[in-house]
Amino acid sequence: MKYLALALLLLAARAFAETNEAKTAALLRSLESDPVALRVLLTQMPKGGDLHNHLEGSVWAEDFLKWADADGACLDAKSHTISLGPCISGQVPARGLMTRDPGFYQASIDAFSMRNFVPGLGTGEVSGHDHTFATFPAFAAIVPPHLGEALAITRNQAAADHVLYMEQMADPTGAFSPALLGSIANFSPTDFDADLNAVAPQLPALVSAARAEYDVAERRMRTELRCATAAREPGCAVEVRYLFYVVRTLQPGQVFAQIALGYALAAADSRFVGIDLVAPEDGPVALRDFALHMRMFQYFHSRDPKVRLSLHAGELWLGLVPPSALGYHIRDTVEIAGASRIGHGYELPFESDVGHLLKEMAAKRIAVEINLTSNDVTPGVKGGEHPLHAYMRAGVPWSLSADDEGVFRIDLSHEYVRAVLEQHLTYADLKASARNGITYGFLPGDSLWQPDRGFRKVAECAHAGAACDAFLKRSEKATLQERLEQQFAVFEARAAVGGFTG
């Protein structure tokens, strides 16, 4: 009788949870004509993981200017590019700029972001694509001395969005060491073993320097967030790992050296869980060397398949590049480079044999990081042109992400709202996005979910108890997944009674 009563209690609890989920889904549907209330609801929704997040691009312009002021840095009078000083002719001192020259201060925010962008005006970029990528060199110099603060700010932003886990694209300064980038004087595209031997002697010292840099930065981050005190800020609770990023617009030997350093760092430091490939995919050098880059990643992936790859791929569109540059970037990133995830992927409709590619990605569980605002601002892909629903229909895993919150002046909640209003996603879709943001992250450990069974828990956690406790203890990933489920239960119980929207 005792076991029967317990079983009935569990069934009742499950039915109650399902009822709350259904009520939350109905509430979301009812708010599609009320964007204000929809934003209120989705701000509070647990969002699992954000898997496509550029660290530098996620800091807001006002913070860059605050740091520049404190450091006595300088801004170029025309481009607003920050340099660390002392100021020379043609530069404007950052100290006191907000009150001394409010107009230039506001124009600097525009230069560091997409705020007020009008094609052809301001700094002269003729498209959202060009201005987006032009923002990064404008603020790049001020980030390294304030890395700890950047880590703190972005963690607090994630916490405000109810994000549990984030993978940030990061660049330890050692990655651009002049010695490293100039180390392969005779790079050979046909002898990667020789190329690796040429750069290998420098890797241990660079790995050590990169790890030390992040040790210092994370200590500063924890101090900024008061993580060791009773007044700890919400960002302390966000789990963060890093993706070492490689810049695809550099020369071949430099790209190879960066990949080598990324693999060495990932092998030495568990905070770095994978590697990404960034910079404009449509750049002349990136297009010229695309096949070579894929072979480079194939080489390193075959040497160490434990290091995971999340590569920008398919960030192309007809008109942005000629037809000859379309049709193979996503496929080659999956089949040759061995990526576990791809970022953006909106080139899909131009890929050859799309049906076969989608089946392959679904079978291999190659997840796609979906960045709706970024995809709209840069090439102008939005609404029905975006291939999100094609991925969904094919069973390809996907997850919404923010890309560059500071540059685009958004947060992840904005992307969830946009997904409902523009892509007409349901609550079940958004819940899948949040779950996938942890499931397809590179945290170690087995998943809480059975493979290819939707979101059905593994046998050990079908019911609460010692077996599930032991399973969760063995897996960082499953522990976060279970925490997300608990957050969903609380969120849905409150949403079911109108606790967020009145």
pLDDT digits 0-9 by tens, 215-232: 999 999 999 999 999 999
* Angle 295-241-314 from CA coordinates, rounded to 5°: 40
Band of residue 182 on the pLDDT scale cut at 50, 70, 90? low
| pTM, full prediction | 0.93
- If you average pLDDT over every residue of the chain, what do you get? 92
Q: Report pLDDT for 121.
A: 66
Domain that holds residue 80: 75-142
In a domain, 90, yes or no: yes
Q: Which residues are bridge partners to 50 per DSSP?
A: 166
Give backbone dihedrals phi and psi of 146, rounded to 5 degrees, phi first. -125, 30
Q: Do both 153 and 180 map to the same domain?
A: yes
C-alpha distance across the termini of the chain, in Å? 42
The whole-number average pLDDT for the span 112-134 is 82
Q: Are strands 82-83 and 74-76 parallel, antiparallel or unpaired?
A: antiparallel
For the chain, the domain total comes to 3
Confidence of residue 16 (pLDDT cuts 50, 70, 90): low
Q: What is the CATH number of the domain that holds 392?
A: 3.20.20.140
Q: Is there a single domain that holds both residue 341 and residue 192?
A: yes
Is 283 within the bounds of a domain?
Answer: yes
d(CA 326, CA 446): 36
Separation of CA 26 from chain center: 30
- 234 and 358 fall within a common domain: yes
Residues 433 and 459 in one domain: no
300 and 372: one domain?
yes
Task: Answer yes or no: do 105 and 251 share one domain.
Answer: no
Q: At what angle do helices 2-30 and 476-495 cross, to 10 degrees?
A: 70
Looking at 364-373, 421-430, 457-466, which range is the least confident one?
Answer: 457-466
Asked, for residue 4, whether it belongs to a domain, the answer is no
| 102 within 8 A of 108, measured Cβ to Cβ | no
If asked whether residues 353 and 476 sit together in one domain, one would say no
Q: Are residues 433 and 382 in the same domain?
A: yes
If asked whether residues 318 and 422 sit together in one domain, one would say yes
Rounded Cα distance between 232 and 217, Å, is 17
Looking at residue 450, what DSSP letter applies? Answer: P
Residue 501, domain member (yes or no): no
pLDDT of residue 183: 61
433 and 470 co-located in one domain: no
User: What confidence tens digit (pLDDT) does each residue in 141-178 have?
Assistant: 999 999 999 999 999 999 999 999 999 999 886 555 55
Same structural domain, 203 and 336: yes
